[in-house]
Amino acid sequence: MSETLERWGSKRAFILAISGAAVGLGNIWRFPYVAGENGGAAFLLIYVAFVLLLGIPVMMAEILIGRAGRRGPLQALGTLAAEAGASKHWRWLGLFGAFTVFCILSFYSVVSGWSIEFLVASINGQFNGATAAEIGAGFDAFLASPGLLIFNHSLFLFMTMTVVAAGVAKGLERLNNLLMPLLYVLLLLLAGYAATTEGFSTALMWLFLPSFEAITPTVVLHAMGHAFFTLAVGACALMAYGAYMPEEQSLPKAAFAVAVLDISVALLAGIAIFSVVFAQGMDPAEGPGLMFVTLPIAFSELPGGAFWLSVFFLLLLLATWTSAINLAEPMVATLQGLGLRRSMATAIIALSVWLMGLLSAFSFSTLAEFQPLFGRNIFELVSSIPPDIFLPLGGLMIATFAAWIMPQKRVMKALGAGESGYLLWRNIVRWVSIPLTFIVLLGGLL
């Protein structure tokens, strides 16, 4: 079997790459507003539990398939299925994962472009002294300007794909090694600033003292779905990184380290955001507009707020940039596996994602009334169906393949946890993670 030629240069590089794929909008944009809508600490408690029972085991399943196959997802799945005497059609799971990431990246690039616009606006002081009505109207006007949305979408995608084109060692690894530590430093600075605000203690109590009465089936389902979404599992993206994984690296330790980093980012972002929100007496359950409407209003009324708002949007841009880069790589790896040069594969992916992203950008203006399914426009469909349905469906198939189909010796070697560690992982995946993933999928369908 021909193996992929590139490898991460170190264990640290691998962990930063997986963290880069996982840490992004899910942690800094989605976690705060989902937690805000679902009771704060009650949601957080269940979310962490499901990261351990659902996220980490399925993440390990996805990475070990790539590590065992040492090729792109499509090729690795096909080879391992043939070894196991299973259907050759398992390889199409790699193509399904690439399509899922393609859909996600198309809207991700548009939303990430918003952070560019808001970073420039905050640096220019456009939110200083603005009223809540003016900030809200400004955001609505921005969304209704397809030219601005397309410009920022194009700029963000250009930033992303130029790094991917440079390759694993020269592109992804170098940028992850630089930007991921910077991201954590900015988060700690924001959390430190949050500690000086009047809302800090309220935010801590709201995030860490759960009211068990707030735990409802809806909260549980949202926590399960977010645990799945935030770790970037289910789209074969981590499978591609497993193919580059150093031989001597412990997979369980690496997966646990990524989960800890991922949860830490969500917590620090939550502390920073909710401290400011509570300091201004605002409602944490503002929904998706929490990031782009509520926060500028809250920061504009605090001492030094303009500077810290700029830091926050810089943090958001860095997180989405590293995440987008690490999501684009598996699609490029899939095309490389079909015989294309990296430069050509990157150009095809970039153009395709850009074109698909135009539909999302126009969904706030020209195509706002075009609702082809379920009374939703294209942006609403692309930003909900892939994360809520495609990811858990992909995760379900990945976990099933790793725990039930792959040859035991192959799994044990790729997992690198000994026989007892393998049996523990296999039993958790078979009897806990797979049923929970199925529930997440049902929740998305319903």
Please, which pLDDT band fits residue 39 given cuts at 50, 70 and 90?
Answer: confident
For residue 346, give Cα distances in angstroms to 231, 278, 331: 24, 44, 8
Question: Residue 219 in contact with residue 46, Cβ under 8 Å?
Answer: yes
5 found inside a domain: no
171 found inside a domain: yes
d(C-alpha 275, C-alpha 204), whole Å: 8
Q: Give the tokens for residue 48.
A: 């962490």
pLDDT score, position 213: 81
183 found inside a domain: yes
Question: Residue 279 in contact with residue 302, Cβ under 8 Å?
Answer: yes
2 found inside a domain: no
Q: Give the tokens for residue 419.
A: 């026989």
What range defines the domain where residue 70 resides?
11-445
75 found inside a domain: yes
Give the pLDDT confidence of 219-256 residue by residue, as tens digits: 888 888 888 888 889 999 899 889 888 888 899 999 99
- The per-residue pLDDT of the chain, averaged, comes to 89
Please, which pLDDT band fits residue 82 given cuts at 50, 70 and 90?
Answer: very high
Give the pLDDT confidence of 172-204 residue by residue, as tens digits: 777 778 888 888 898 899 999 999 989 999 999
Partnered with residue 376 across adjacent β-strands are 373
Give the pLDDT confidence of 98-126 residue by residue, as tens digits: 899 999 999 999 999 999 999 999 999 88
Give the pLDDT confidence of 254-285 residue by residue, as tens digits: 999 999 998 998 899 889 888 988 888 888 87
| CATH code: domain of residue 365 | 1.20.1740.10
Name residue 415's amino acid.
L
Please, which pLDDT band fits residue 294 given cuts at 50, 70 and 90?
Answer: confident
Closest by CA to 68, choosing from 338, 328, 402, is: 402
223 found inside a domain: yes
275 found inside a domain: yes
Residue 167 above 90 pLDDT?
no
Please, which pLDDT band fits residue 1 given cuts at 50, 70 and 90?
Answer: very low
Tokens 């040069």 sit on residue:
341
The total number of structural domains that make up the chain: 1
Tokens 């949202």 sit on residue:
222
Residue 3 above 60 pLDDT?
no
4 found inside a domain: no
Sign of CA dihedral 172, 175, 177, 180: negative
Question: Residue 402 in contact with residue 61, Cβ under 8 Å?
Answer: yes
Residue 300 above 90 pLDDT?
no
Give the pLDDT confidence of 128-158 residue by residue, as tens digits: 878 878 888 999 999 999 999 999 999 999 9
